[in-house]
Amino acid sequence: MLDIHFIRENIDLIKAGAAKKRIEVDLDRLVKVDDERKMIRQELDAKKAEQNRRSNEIQILKDKEREKVIEQMQHLKQGMAEGEEKLKEVMVEWQKLMLTVPNIPDMSVPDGAGDADNLEVKRWPARSTVEGGEPTEFSFIPKGHVELMTALGMADFERGAKVAGFRGYFLKGDGVLLANAVWQLALKHFSAKGMTLMSVPSLVRREAFLGTGYLPQGEEDLYKTQDGEYLAGTGEVATMGYYMDETLDAGMFPVKFLAFSPCFRREAGAHGKDVRGLIRVHEFFKWEQVVLCKAEHDESVRMHEWLNRNTEEFIELLQIPYHTVVNCGGDLGLGQVKKYDIELWVPGEKTYREIGSTSYFHDFQTRRLNIRYRDAEGNMRFPHSLNSTAIPTPRILVSIVENYQQEDGSIRVPEVLVPYVGKSIIGGAG
């Protein structure tokens, strides 16, 4: 959420930012409703001052004069009650409109309508930039992860769909070992960055989703319970809610969390896309990096680069080819100022697939969540927030299996995962 005073003073800038994000917002209506809100409050303040003045008069008046003032105060109270009710109605619309105002994208964010317009800023390893070459070379035609994992008993997709429905899956045997190995390596790698470890809830109240910006716009992609809670698609929601409605000590910053949680997404906007395998499943697990820092743009930029590099380093440990893209305006969410996507090479499809994102929001989320701190000058501020996917499973298995496959259908285990898996080959002699 942006400050209403900032919105009014920078309305053309915000309109331009909304256009860059391809987000429709009625700022003119918001300003009109805000004018009405301020007018009603001014009228109420004036009536309250008059009520206080009349109350003091009553103390010194007698008989008929006193009765006359009391009668006038009854009319005044009635007018105030009507004004309060009118203000409530106006505030409902005002708050709804405020929740639709997008954050302003950074100047470095490229223009574009969707993910096809994102710009590559890095490719690893660098040799994969050779024209016509592919990041992972095979002397045979590589298979897709569904065929490989099914043949090796690592996953069962047919029974997954039978039991869990569309996009359901079972991980089995070495598939489970490999997924758990990724979790253990992630725990070691990211905790070494000085992060506080947390296991966070996936069943979360509506307020945290509103605060992080996943509601009201993204409701169709969330699972909702009969009691009004929602199942989160990322540990970011619960982790950001951890300090909701609290005032923090500025000496805490930067606050760095590494959060683990089950995640759930309906993938409502992905009908017909990636319907096979582990790319777009409804239920998965994820390590998430979340940071709160001082309300300084330069600090947000520094932490953004640091978080993204943490994940790049993890992928490099696994020796999986990847590239990093900066997201265009049309591929940014409501609150994001800037975002990177890291995409891993998938040999079976001969393309890169997103494995995670890194975003910063300035004070967009903390203002909505009412997380504050007092700066060195004694001023109350909203800290800046950032989040980044550390690693999701089982999606990471797609690139591991496909990049490490061998001609006989076996899979080499990445060297850094061997101690956790307990073997160097899946489907071979080990």
Q: Which of 123, 368, 372, 395 is catalytic?
A: 395
Domain boundary among 63, 98, 133: 98
Do 75 and 158 lie in one domain? The reply is no
The tokens describing 3, both together, are 């400050």
- Which residues lie closer than 8 Å to 3 by C-beta, 6 or more apart? 367
**What pLDDT, on a 0 to 100 scale, did the predictor assign at position 130?**
47
Other CB atoms within 10 A of residue 25 CB: 18
Same domain, 57 and 157: no
Is residue 104 assigned to a domain? no
Answer whether residue 22 is part of any domain: yes
Res 128: pLDDT? 53
Is residue 110 domain-resident? Answer: no
CATH of the domain at 89: 1.10.287.40
Q: Which of 98, 126, 154 is the last residue of a domain?
A: 98
Residues 89 and 145 in one domain: no
Could you give the CA distance from residue 33 to residue 108 in angstroms, rounded to a whole number?
33
**276 among known catalytic residues:** no
Look up the CATH number of the domain holding residue 186: 3.30.930.10
Beta partners for 325?
120, 341
Catalytic residue among 266, 280, 302, 353: 280
Helix (H) or strand (E) run with residue 256 in it: strand 255-264
Whether the CA torsion 401, 406, 408, 410 is positive or negative: it is negative
Whether residues 318 and 208 share a domain: the answer is: yes
Is 107 contained in some domain?
no
Q: Which of 261, 300, 357, 399 is catalytic?
A: 357
Ordered per-residue pLDDT tens for the chain, 430 residues: 899 999 999 999 999 999 999 999 999 999 999 999 999 999 888 878 877 776 666 666 666 676 676 667 777 777 788 888 999 999 999 999 999 999 999 999 999 999 999 999 999 997 655 455 678 989 999 999 999 999 999 999 999 999 998 889 999 999 999 999 999 999 999 999 999 999 999 999 999 999 999 988 888 889 999 999 999 999 999 999 999 999 999 999 999 999 999 999 997 655 556 667 898 899 999 999 999 999 999 999 999 999 999 999 999 999 999 999 999 999 999 999 999 999 999 999 999 999 999 999 999 999 999 999 999 889 999 999 999 999 999 999 999 999 999 999 999 999 999 999 999 999 965 4
Determine whether 53 is an active site residue: no
> Do 390 and 289 fall within a single domain?
yes
Which residues, other chains included, contact 216 with Cβ-Cβ below 8 Å and sequence gap of 6+? 96, 99, 210
H-helix or E-strand containing 121?
strand 119-124
CA–CA dist 351, 345 (Å, integer): 6
3-state secondary structure of 352: strand
Task: Indicate if 349 and 409 belong to the same structural domain.
Answer: yes
Dihedral over alpha carbons 43, 49, 52, 57 (to 10 degrees): -110
Q: Is 123 a catalytic residue?
A: no
318: nearest Cα among 372, 220, 396, 370: 396
In-domain check, residue 108: no
Residues 98, 27 contacting (CB under 8 angstroms): no
Residue at 103 is within a domain:
no
The pLDDT score that the predictor gives to residue 430 is: 44
Q: Is 410 a catalytic residue?
A: no
Distance (Å, rounded) from C-alpha 243 to C-alpha 245? 6
User: Does 19 fall in a domain?
Assistant: yes
Catalytic option among 123, 265, 368, 372: 265
Element (DSSP H or E) covering residue 258 = strand 255-264
Based on the fold, state whether residues 142 and 220 are members of the same structural domain. yes
> What's the domain count of the chain?
2
Which of 43, 207, 267, 354 is labelled catalytic?
354
Q: Which domain holds residue 74?
A: 4-98
Q: Report if residue 106 sits inside a domain.
A: no
DSSP 83-114: HHHHHHHHHHHHHHHHTTPPPPPPTTSPP-SS
Is 43 one of the annotated active-site residues of the chain? no
Residues 152, 89 share a domain: no
Collapsed DSSP state (helix, strand, coil) of residue 300: helix
- In terms of domains, do 65 and 141 share one? no
pLDDT of residue 127: 62
Same domain, 155 and 92: no
